[in-house]
Structure 1
Amino acid sequence: MSYSGNQALFTARTTDGNSNGADWPGGRGVFAVVGTFNGATVKLQWTPDGTNWLDVDQNGDTFVTKTAAGHGGFELPQCQVRAAQSGSGGATSLTTTVGGLRV
């Protein structure tokens, strides 16, 4: 299954916290983060049950854990995804999106 749309998880977020969960139809995707980090970290998380959130990156991977503007690929089953922002400084302002890859 592929998903070719883009969805903003949050726009110009300035404080630590999590985006709302967004439905992911399953398959390969790209997580992108742009803006001013000022010490912040943003990572992609997913939930298999709607309650427990897991980091997509495991075992030290940093494909979808960002401390500077960039993007990274992932592959997940049908689930919900969210962005988690931490370590925000006074000038932090970040926008995150997820988008599907055509396969």
Structure 2
Amino acid sequence: MIPAPARVGLATTNDPYLLRNLIWCGPCDVPMYPNPAWGQRTYKCGLGCRRIALPADAIESVTWTAAERRATLDAIAPPCRQSVLELLLVKVIVVSDAPDDLAFVWRT
């Protein structure tokens, strides 16, 4: 179980992109970047290999569910979730254009 945020130094953030600095394009092996498009939160490949922006909500939801399976994450408030994911993950790799086709590189 992850201890309360104050005890492990979890940072809170108002960043709307939970996977900033963690999400990578599988085919290109480059970081993806936040891309607000038409009022929606999305991620894009840094090299532009993907023709469509991928929905941030869907990718972040799949990633958080995987993190919950990996560790006991009781009552982690949304502002602390980015910090928790940075502790657990090296990167999230977007394998295809499907927001649930992800691979995770976990810290050991």
* TM-score tier (shorter): under 0.3
| Greater Rg over alpha carbons, structure | 2
More helix by share: 2
More strand by share: 1
